[in-house]
Amino acid sequence: MRADPPRLNRRALLAAPIALAACDRFAAAEPAAGPPAAPLKSITPCPFGAIGMTWQLDQADWVEQVRRHCSQLTPEWEQKMERTLGPGFTHDFSASDRMVAFARDNGLRVHGHTLIWYSQGGDVFNDDVPRARFAAEFDRYISSFVSRYRGRMAGWDVVNEPVAEDGDGLRDCHWSRALGMDGYMVRAFEQARAADPDAVLFLNEYNLENIPRKGATFLKLVERLLKLGAPIGGIGTQSHLNIEIPAGQITAFMRDAASLGLPIHISELDFPMQRDGGQLPDLRSTAERRAQQVARVGELAEAFMALPQRQRYAFTTWGLRDIDSWLLREEGKNRPDESPVLLDAAGGPNPAYQAVVDAFTGRAGA
């Protein structure tokens, strides 16, 4: 029986079928063969990260693979309000403490995830709470959490997923109703900065590469919040990739994001081959899906590699091995046939692994 089971609530990825461009140089990539996967932390031009939960700390094989491949760890669930916030504005950071201690003991830096998310906290921070109390508890939560690990966290996802699903404006939520649409975000960043001046503070969002309109809205939001004085230190793009998007779309977003000059975190990378929802059957062959998958991951890695070194914060996959991914786990999407991350169940290379290696070592397109 797993301890601390999460209730994951990831959104479906955009699924608009298109033909893969014939000129896409990654499309012909074959599954990696030969020796075991080289440690990813020795290949990436920045820290390589993965996620973890407390029940995995007792799995020797998971610990072994994390030690081999990772230089950074993101708690998957233990720092979300679902776990940390209780009735009456009580706080419980014990599960988070375990993850941070594990990282420290194994020489990993930690990226905090996440302080303020529209999806959680509304049962305690509800519309019946007087506004003065709401604001005071909002400040206390962030200050207590971030200061607890002052000097021990590389960065934090301070605000998570503030942009509307389709990119048309921002999400209305319990935070915005009480503190203002931009106000709650500015306030969150200010509180986090006061609690730990050295941590890099991120605005984190998904579907930025998949939906150009959402990517544009997100970048405009970053610019606006910076002008309002929010101490945003980095951009987190989750990169739950829709492998059917057109070639070049990922590159275009990364180029636009880089223009802001902030560090960029590939914060939750995965790349499922199966579509979510839709009325039409998926008639793509396995080979076509694999080619699309390898192409898109290769493009992302190349676009990330093209960033100035100072803007490469970290490259993080949402699950180290296939069996660690929320897409395969029973409490997630429960898709046992997926291969949505870089390593297979045994820690060997999945097909997309070689595309990342080629991009990060300068061999892509050779």
- What is the crossing angle of helices 249-258 and 286-305, to 10°? 20
What's CA 52's distance to the chain center, in Å? 12
Task: Give the DSSP letter of residue 349.
Answer: B
Catalytic pick among 161, 205, 209, 244: 161
How many residues appear in the chain? Answer: 366
User: Taken in order 51, 64, 353, 307, is the CA torsion positive or negative?
Assistant: positive
310 vs 362: CA distance, rounded Å: 18
Catalytic pick among 76, 78, 268, 302: 268
3-state secondary structure of 50: strand
Task: Determine whether 268 is an active site residue.
Answer: yes
19 vs 336: CA distance, rounded Å: 26
Continuous H helices in the chain: 60-69, 81-84, 94-105, 131-148, 174-179, 183-195, 212-227, 249-258, 286-305, 351-361
Task: Determine whether 30 is an active site residue.
Answer: no
Report the helix count and the strand count for the chain, using DSSP H and E: 10, 10
List the catalytic residues: 161, 268
